Amino acid sequence: MGPLTRRYDIVDGNDEEMLAVAADSIQNMIAGNRRININDVMLLYGACAYSSAAAGLQGSCTAAIEEGLPDMLSDHQVMIGVPDMIKRLEISITDRAGGGTVNVAVQDPIRPTPYMKRGLGQGQSPSPSPSPSPSFSDSSGGDGSGRVALGEMP
C-alpha cells in the first residue's frame, strides 16, 4: 500500500476560512470526547502546519512544527489503529507568492501515552488518569480556548 497523501491548496481568504472551520469542527469533536479518524487527523495537522507558516516561510517554522505536532493529539483522542497508520508525517508548504517551500518530517506524530508504552503485567490494573485536553495555542499565550488560530502554533 502506498503512502496516504492529502493536499490542501489555500489560495485566498475563503480557503483559509474553510480550513479554520473544518479544524474547529474537528476540535469540537475532540472536546466532546469523540475519537477522530485518520482523515480528521490529517486535516488538523495540515491546518496547524499552515497556521504556523501563514506569517511567512521561515526556518523557525519548521522547528515549531516538528516539536509541536507530536504533542497535539494523544492516542486516546484518535480511533484505534490511527497512530499505527501514521508513523511518519511529511508536510510541504509552498508559498506561491514568494516561491519558498518549507518541508517538515515528523516521526511518530501521535505519541502513545506512557500507559500504552509500558504495558501492564498480569494482575495489574490501569490507574485512572484524566485525559489530556488538546491545546493548539502556543506557550506565549493564545486565547486559551484550545482552538487553532491562524498564525499560532502548538
Domain at 72, CATH number: 3.30.280.10
Residue 25 belongs to what domain range? 13-114
Owner of C-alpha cell 507568492:
97
Q: Does some domain include residue 104?
A: yes
Mean pLDDT value of segment 31-40: 95
pLDDT at position 18 over 70: yes
- For residue 38, what are the contacts with CB-CB under 8 A and spacing of at least 6? 4, 78, 79, 82, 85, 86
Q: How many CA atoms lie within 13 A of 150 on its CB side?
A: 12
pLDDT at position 29 over 90: yes
- Which DSSP string do the residues of 77-146 spell out, in sequence order? SB-TTHHHH-SEEEEEEE-TTT--EEEEEEESSSPPPHHHHH---TT--PPP-PPPPP--S-TT---SS-
Contact assessment for residue 51 and residue 149, using Cβ atoms and an 8 Å cutoff: yes
Q: Does some domain include residue 119?
A: no
Q: Does some domain include residue 5?
A: no
Q: Does some domain include residue 48?
A: yes
> Structural domain tally of the chain?
1
pTM higher than 0.75: no
* Structure confidence at residue 5 as a pLDDT band (50, 70, 90): confident
Q: Mean pLDDT, the chain, as a whole number? A: 73
Q: Does some domain include residue 97?
A: yes
Q: Does some domain include residue 154?
A: no
Q: Does some domain include residue 128?
A: no
What per-residue string of b and e applies to 108-122 under the rule 16 or more CB within 10 Å gives b?
ebbbeeeeeeeeeee
pLDDT tens figures, 77-113: 999 999 988 888 888 887 766 667 778 888 888 887 7
pLDDT tens figures, 132-148: 444 343 333 344 444 44
Rounded-to-integer distance, Cα 13 and Cα 2, Å: 33
- For residue 129, what are the contacts with CB-CB under 8 A and spacing of at least 6? 115
Angle at 93 between CA 59 and CA 80, to 5 degrees: 105
Q: Does some domain include residue 18?
A: yes
